[in-house]
Amino acid sequence: MGKVARQVVEQAGVNVDVLLDKLIRAASAEFTTFYYYTILRVNSIGFDGEGLKEIIEDARIEDRNHFEALTPRIYELGGALPRDIRGFADVAGCPDAYLPSDPRDMKQMLNVLVEAERCAIRTYNEICGMTFGKDHRTYEIALAILHEEIEHEAWFSEFMGEGPSGHFRRGAPGASPHVRKFMTADIG
């Protein structure tokens, strides 16, 4: 924990304990989504599924990256991840993205995916609103994640035919163009 790193946020008027609760819930949602998206990607097969598989993979890897980017900030602010992963999964800020009853039904699959992304957008929009102009570092991390979650929603939404966004898939799987700069241990 950085003493001044937390102090400046408190003095700017942010309730750091409330913020930490939201960051831990967000990190948990990213971690559990990484798990569930693995199952969704594995089951994305057939004529429709093969086209969906690659964007599930991009979103899956980027959600893991979001977890990686959030975790140091939680500790910097004096928080910690739960010691028990079961407790961690239980505090996830979004519902679990379960494999649908009929995994061959890509509309059901897409519905799970797009709703998960919409929940993530709401989560980071809230954190951005809470930290804007006060906690610059958390705000920048949350904003970078928000950029990617909005792109994820657009990918899945377009697959459902809900309208174009102008986005295209990543050049490399899970490239995280917005969040990458916060994954400092991974940058060579």
What does the binding site for other proteins look like in residue numbers (CB under 8 A)? 25, 92-101, 111-112, 115-116, 119, 122-123, 126
> Which letter does DSSP use for residue 132 in this model?
T
* Cβ count within 10 A of residue 7: 11
User: At a CB cut-off of 8 Å and minimum separation 6, what does 122 contact?
Assistant: none
Q: Which is nearer to other proteins, 97 or 170 (CB)?
A: 97
Report the C-alpha gap between 40 and 152 in whole angstroms: 15
Q: Which is nearer to other proteins, 34 or 182 (CB)?
A: 34
Report the C-alpha gap between 60 and 146 in whole angstroms: 15
Least distance between other proteins and beta carbon 48 (Å): 18
Q: Which is nearer to other proteins, 130 or 183 (CB)?
A: 130
Least distance between other proteins and beta carbon 105 (Å): 11
Q: Which is nearer to other proteins, 39 or 175 (CB)?
A: 39
Least distance between other proteins and beta carbon 126 (Å): 8
Q: Which is nearer to other proteins, 69 or 109 (CB)?
A: 109
Tokens of 98: 């379960």
Least distance between other proteins and beta carbon 98 (Å): 5
Least distance between other proteins and beta carbon 186 (Å): 29
Query: Which amino acid, one-letter code, is at 116?
Result: A
- Given a contact cutoff of 8 angstroms between Cβ atoms, the answer to whether 163 and 157 are in contact is yes
Report the C-alpha gap between 2 and 25 in whole angstroms: 21
